[in-house]
Amino acid sequence: MSKPVEHYLCGKFISEGNWSHMRRSMPVHEIILMLEGEMYIAEDEEKYVVRAHDLLFLKAGHTHYGYRVSDAPVSFYWIHYGAAPGVFSSFPTHSSIQVPSMANQLFKQLLHVCSFSPEEADAAALLLLKELERNLQTDYRPHSAVVDHICKWVDIHLHTNMTVNQIAEQFNFNKDYISKMVKREKGVGLKAYILTERMRRAKQLLLNTNASVKEIAAQCGFNDYKLFLRTFKQHEGNTPTEYRNHLYSTQLNRL
């Protein structure tokens, strides 16, 4: 397959009790994140008891079946996916994750976007699997994969008048939580990060294009031209025109 990960199906399973997993063998992998109860499941001849916050990785082409009925309520997230050879091949079959809340959020995000388009579902599945892989490592940094994804999204949408609330809604996080998460990784909150990236983009455009300052303001997400001028001067210490002229002067002096 050309993509590292391809999402097929995902969902949240809930049973009130008196349930066991069906017997089947699938051509795709399955990952289960246990939320509640105990599930008694086997892969071929190996039996597992899966409890809350446990992760179960079931390989494609193997037979999976419940070997005992779960009397109490059971709930878990699940995803069926395909992966290129060697991609996410190091997952242990049965493990406990260190920060289940992060995995929960990413599963919720996947469930939210999976009906939008295959591309968005694949991207959300890849993000989820990367985070689960990091979660199982000894040097785990729980927020890094998610923050990387958020920052890439911000970079793509710098031309829009995005807000922290909109980004939080996009990623299905609380706005305070998402800002704190970015601050842990980047040293500044999400609002400050967006502004810093807008200024970085503005400086790149001033240096590398002949676009007018007004056009650059719009390309950096500023609908208010005067606000852009004030913000740029506060951030950089001079106006956009002064910044551009200074750079041109410096380049000429170096010739």
Radius of gyration of the chain (CA): 24
State what percent of residues in the chain have pLDDT above 70: 91
Domains and CATH numbers, the chain: 5-118 (2.60.120.280), 143-255 (1.10.10.60)
Q: What is the pLDDT of residues 8-33, one digit of tens each?
A: 999 999 999 999 999 999 999 999 99
What tokens appear for 160 in the block? 């829009």
**pLDDT band, very low/low/confident/very high, at 253 (cuts 50, 70, 90):** very low
Mean pLDDT of the chain: 87
**pLDDT band, very low/low/confident/very high, at 36 (cuts 50, 70, 90):** very high
**pLDDT of res. 140:** 46
Query: Which residues contact residue 91 at a Cβ distance below 8 angstroms, ignoring those fewer than 6 apart?
Result: 31, 55, 57, 132, 133, 136
What tokens appear for 193 in the block? 């990060």
Q: What angle do CA 238, 190, 233 make, to 5 degrees?
A: 10
Q: Angle, nearest 10°, between helix axes 175-186 and 144-156?
A: 100
Residue 250 clears pLDDT 70, i.e. is over it: no
Q: What is the pLDDT of residues 148-189, one digit of tens each?
A: 788 888 988 999 999 999 998 888 788 888 898 888 888 899
- Is the full-model pTM beyond 0.85? no
Q: What is the pLDDT of residues 217-233, one digit of tens each?
A: 999 999 999 999 999 99
